[in-house]
Structure 1
């Protein structure tokens, strides 16, 4: 009995040992199970093309189309991964593509397209394929983009690579080599490879490397299965997306601009008075043009005599073009391709009629959702103006979260100058009294703008006005109101009321206050010393110059300060 029990125990031990040995061996062996297509391509959709951008399997909303051997890409895919400067107007079924010197428009299903308004013929049209998304012919995209592509028709994989990017390659050196889903040998097989197969190589992970095969599939391989990893340098240089800034059209030194507020045609005659005692001024910018209505008509109060007089005195004329700060009109016009084009044609005609040297674009109070249309408008207008040798400048707020949609980075790539409106720190209806432009506010505006725009393109807007603040206590609350005054008049008000005027080194301005009729009056003065402190920042940060709002409110001494800093 004991002997039989012993035999049974030994048998059980042998069986258990065999069982564990078997599983140990199984655990040690690589997995050769083939992964299915959905595991290999996470964004796989049956019958559709999968898209791989270098080493990323990308998720797409609209799939590329292959029609009669012609490849079409949806605009949203192109914008995100290839080129952001295609703008699809879904309502008007118009695609616009902009470069630094071209505006190209294409209508849906139309073989004629327009380059800077000149008609040309396409070999194939843009299409919509019964969707709201435009599809662009791949041949057209390749003309303007630094990409190449491979199409694996069997696996329905479309692979893109950037020609301007450096990359790595290697070759398979072992007979039995596999690309796997993950960085271990128990992971399923993506693709079996042969000796000398070439691969693109990406990141390395503890003896494993991420690779892409010639068939377009992504996965991981053991480093020991590959030979030498070689660096392959770009086939073409990276595209320059920031065209050369304007050469200032023979302006000596730094630019000195003055805005001239003109509210009616008859007021143009004031140009002789405001230019009477200036010194070192280069550009006068009259407020002549604005969007009149939602149809895209333009209000015009310009004067040929004004231009002739200014030029006879050696000044350039950069007419200001505004949106009247009207959100609705701005949206209605800028969101429409046809209306943007209508506005552009009018601006080009006015520029030519009045022989203008520049256009200054002053679009304020633009809604957040219209930021994309504002940038598109700038990209469409600028090439036409530059073709006429017209300087293009855009006025921008001091950077803040609520003005980010103005996208200074993109605007700065296109236009000649970005002008910081370095004033209205405390604006006309501000709930508290304060400086129009303290030195800290101005400096932050400069430094934050320089994070987005090249210094050669940045001009600092400075105030030629100040505000008289009135504080009155009503029912235990302080009511604040203000009124803008010229530099001289603001000083007169303080002197007339025997206010003590002291220099505030924190804001770099003279400050004075007084009480009258149970009200407190406060003024942070703008004058030659405060302006000098601001202009010092222009010099320290190597900016392009200054622009003053508005001529006629400045002290005469201001011109000496500007001349000494900008022209010597």
Structure 2
């Protein structure tokens, strides 16, 4: 089902060898913008009317902004159970701040495709997470009550299925207050027939230091939500040294710690739908990687005559290339790395997997998770 391109392979030779039509291979793997196959490229090979789903009973969700292209969102409905609409903010007085773009079309499209739309609540101010918003909210019950009332009214008016709470950079002193707020949201939503999830930074121990982690109490938050979304990605990020965004060995460490604090049936394991392109040499604090899509990554390799390699440790593809005298290193996701992550979620009997984010095309991924 997953074929890794070898030297000398062509689309036509693979089609002849597998008896799968050329058009089907090209369509499933989105090869239309790619000048030629790349050695090391992984292809999903499915015959006409054949399902490649490896999901079993996994629940599948993912985040998307309201400005997502409709054609890209439609591809994801093949696999999704739930759509996380990113995002609603709030003020220091508990008033909701809706997304800049209209979200109603996403809600309607989700329900039309049998997918549950969820309102995502974030402490955003001027485009970034604001822990002072979290602090005021965590320490003031009246503001919490106002915000929760506004959330309920919006969920009911817009037709959402529930709320996903996605707060980051929570101050250590707000750890308990934040978890209690999530519990109050859940209490109100559950009584009215809605669910509540909460996103968690990827911790590997209870005492992990750092602003991303110290305010995140896995046990308290999981107890106060219907399910949790582990943000198991961004080891490789814009300012990091070149590396996998979600190396499987690190993802596994987070999952194993999470299982000491909460039941497996509450856990959604995060998966990145993107990669990064780093210019070399890497200089800490100076080098800035470019965010790219997974289909785009293979196109870059094809255009620059690169050969794709696969890290056995990270279970992630990567390659290097040179353009205009500048060397680059690229790490991204393909069907092999996705298969490894799906198998990890199934191995630990997790409830599901979730994507950050759905904004870039990756049809082969959704075919791997196609609903029955």
Q: TM class by shorter-chain length?
A: 0.7 to 0.9
Task: Output aligned runs, 1:120-269, within 5 Å.
Answer: 253-262=57-66, 267=67
Deviation at 1:284, TM superposition (A): 1.1
| 1:501-549 CA-partner distances (Å, limit 9, x unpaired) | 1121111111101234453311122011101100100110000011111
Q: Match of 2:160, SS?
A: coil
Q: Match of 1:295, SS?
A: coil
Conserved 8 A contact 2:131-2:169 = yes
Q: Match of 1:500, SS?
A: coil
Conserved 8 A contact 1:465-1:485 = yes
The answer for the alignment partner of 2:220 in structure 1 is 410
The answer for the alignment partner of 1:347 in structure 2 is 151
| 1:296-323 CA-partner distances (Å, limit 9, x unpaired) | 2211135334322321221111121111
Task: Output aligned runs, 1:421-432, within 5 Å.
Answer: 421-430=231-240, 432=241
C-alpha change, 1:353 and 1:505, in structure 2 (3 Å) is same
The answer for the alignment partner of 2:275 in structure 1 is 466
Task: Output aligned runs, 1:360-371, within 5 Å.
Answer: 360-371=164-175
The answer for the alignment partner of 2:96 in structure 1 is 298
The answer for the alignment partner of 1:447 in structure 2 is 256
Q: Structure 1 length normalisation: TM-score?
A: 0.51
The answer for the alignment partner of 2:327 in structure 1 is 520
Deviation at 1:466, TM superposition (A): 0.6
Distance 1:305 1:507 in 2: 38
Q: Which stretch shifts more, 332-341 or 380-389?
A: 332-341
The answer for the alignment partner of 1:232 in structure 2 is none
Deviation at 1:408, TM superposition (A): 1.0
The answer for the alignment partner of 1:505 in structure 2 is 312
Task: Output aligned runs, 1:322-333, within 5 Å.
Answer: 322-324=122-124, 325-333=129-137
Distance 1:492 1:353 in 2: 43
**Greater C-alpha radius of gyration:** 1
Distance 1:351 1:383 in 2: 14
Deviation at 1:472, TM superposition (A): 3.6
Q: Which stretch shifts more, 413-422 or 519-528?
A: 519-528
Distance 1:416 1:473 in 2: 42
Distance 1:306 1:261 in 2: 9
| 1:19-70 CA-partner distances (Å, limit 9, x unpaired) | xxxxxxxxxxxxxxxxxxxxxxxxxxxxxxxxxxxxxxxxxxxxxxxxxxxx
Distance 1:272 1:510 in 2: 26
The answer for the alignment partner of 1:336 in structure 2 is 140
**Residue number among 188, 195, 198 corresponding to 1:394 in the alignment:** 198
C-alpha change, 1:473 and 1:448, in structure 2 (3 Å) is closer
**Bigger strand fraction:** 1
Conserved 8 A contact 1:472-1:478 = no
Distance 1:376 1:329 in 2: 16
Conserved 8 A contact 1:472-1:518 = no
Conserved 8 A contact 1:290-1:322 = yes
Give ranges in structure 2 of 5+ residues lacking alignment: 1-55
CA root-mean-square deviation: 2.1
More relative contact order in 1 or in 2 (CA 8 Å, sep 6+)?
2
Deviating runs (4+, > 6 A) in structure 1?
A: none
| 1:269-296 CA-partner distances (Å, limit 9, x unpaired) | x4464114642221111113112x3222
Q: Verify: 1:377 aligned to 2:181, yes or no.
A: yes
